[in-house]
Structure 1
Amino acid sequence: MKKLILLLLMSSSICKAQIAENIFDVFSDGSIDKIYSMIDDFDLSQTVKDVEYKTTFSHNFTVGTASYTLKTGILKDWGDGIFSRGFNVISLYKDGRTELILKQPEIWTYVYDGGSAIDFRDYTDNQFFIPIKLSPKSLAMVFLGWPYGGDMPYMTIVVATEKEANIVFNKRMGLDSIKTYPLYTMKVQTVLEEYDSCGKLCTPPVFTEIKASGYGTLQLKKQQQ
């Protein structure tokens, strides 16, 4: 009887354990295998897709033997305002050739001195993204969306390898905190808390984790209730 109870408890514990799924895969040659369910489309109008943009900043980095340049930009004639603390164009160049250009009408904010209330300067060597070194030949770049208040901001992850660079993740999530040991782990908020007119919490926040797998990829865990 005691053994049966122990087995039931162990089974219950396993069922409650979080199940993680890969956000993307990387082949041995450095090619990125995207999982499209992990990438929500931006709300892009034809105007946003076609409009020109002006480059605001540039950042150089290397992944293995490949040299990359990240350039951030603002869509032309969109003015200043909050764009002085962020950008809505991300362009990546590998060895001088265009690898990726992302545009959106909302903006990504700086990871410090930006629109977010949390300062992540301790986890980055630049103001534009948070780097996660997945392997000697693979780097993830985490871009944080602007927290407008009515919904969670976008979190966008781009991966660069010696072979290519591509977007692998785009979901409405807010970065809450980071742990770097034993595996790099980001605690992310997926549901915005809401309060009633009396200040009582009526919708609690929901959190989950994005974690380095240890095999050159990132994994998303099921939400913690």
Structure 2
Amino acid sequence: MSESLIETAATKQVDDLYWRANYSAITESDEQLRKIVASTDLPPLMVALAAATGDYSILRDELRPPQPPVDTVGQPHGGMDAAAQEAARELAFQALRRIRDEKITSVETLDDEQATTILDWITNQATTDYHQMLKHDMALVPEVSGAPAFTKEQVAPTRDFTVAVIGSGVAGMAAAYRLKQAGLDYTVFEKGHEVGGTWWKNTYPGVRLDTPNYA
């Protein structure tokens, strides 16, 4: 991972390594937008559009994905029935048209109420006890991110040292990012000639996730 990428990410408002303040404008036609909506998993699309437009009314109670228990084959769209899928697709299409027509290219961070609204809807209120933990994974909720709550200047202003990060897999890259945020010098040691750790070195044919994921 480049030093410049970490440097840029460490100064972002949103605590996400690949965050961008502005994204490319949507230019697709209505026909293209409908094709996109028809081929996309609806629950994550709906919450993304609610966050992008600021219109949380599209997360209607009657469209909550029921998230049925895991079976041999997962249920598409979190178990939404055909009628709910049709209604959700129309709402999603209208939201995408609004993003295109209003030239929306950025998204605001979420306050606690907005994040709770999203989690209540996409999990069908099944995981309220875990909301704080789930918010930790939501890049748009900066106050509960994994950013360090200290800096080197605060805890060790007179000590000079460098932290060794062993391996540039996902954990190593995350460690480097957090160390950078805390103002600590670090060196990443990687025996391979590419970053990515086990996910770069190995392939996993047929690998699947056997549990539904709120994200």
TM-score normalized with structure 2 length = 0.22
- Where is the strand percentage greater, Structure 1 or Structure 2? 1
Query: Highest Rg: 1 or 2?
Result: 2
TM-score normalized with structure 1 length = 0.21
- Where is the helix percentage greater, Structure 1 or Structure 2? 2
Higher RCO, 1 vs 2 (CA within 8 Å, ≥6 residues apart): 2
